[in-house]
Amino acid sequence: MTQTDRLKQRLAITDAGRDALLAELLTEARDFMLSYTGRTNLPDGLLSCQVNIAVVWFNRQGIEGMSAADEGGVKRTVESLPEYIRRELDQWRVVRTIGGGSR
């Protein structure tokens, strides 16, 4: 099953009409994850996290840039990145040292 298929399954999308958008969300999620973790390749262990980020970003369409919303008396707070995703990504961060060497 492809990442796009996995994303479509999570979002209950059955047609191909949004495939380009979903592929773009997955690409953006991958790029974000690589930057955040300091890696050059996405490990297989992060593939489900990539789908999770794409789901979050898909569901946030139309509320980009908002940190809170009040709709019909219901207040919602929007996290930039849900904590459960941040914790998973943190486990995959590459530690880099600056300087080093002996004097």
Q: Which of 11, 95, 15 is nearest to 53 (CA)?
A: 11
Q: What gap in Å lies between CA 14 and CA 64, rounded to an integer? A: 25
Q: Give the pLDDT mean for 72-82.
A: 71
Domain ranges across the chain: 3-90
Per residue in 20-66, pLDDT (tens digit) is: 999 999 999 999 999 999 999 999 999 999 999 999 999 888 766 65
Q: Quick one: pLDDT at residue 65?
A: 62
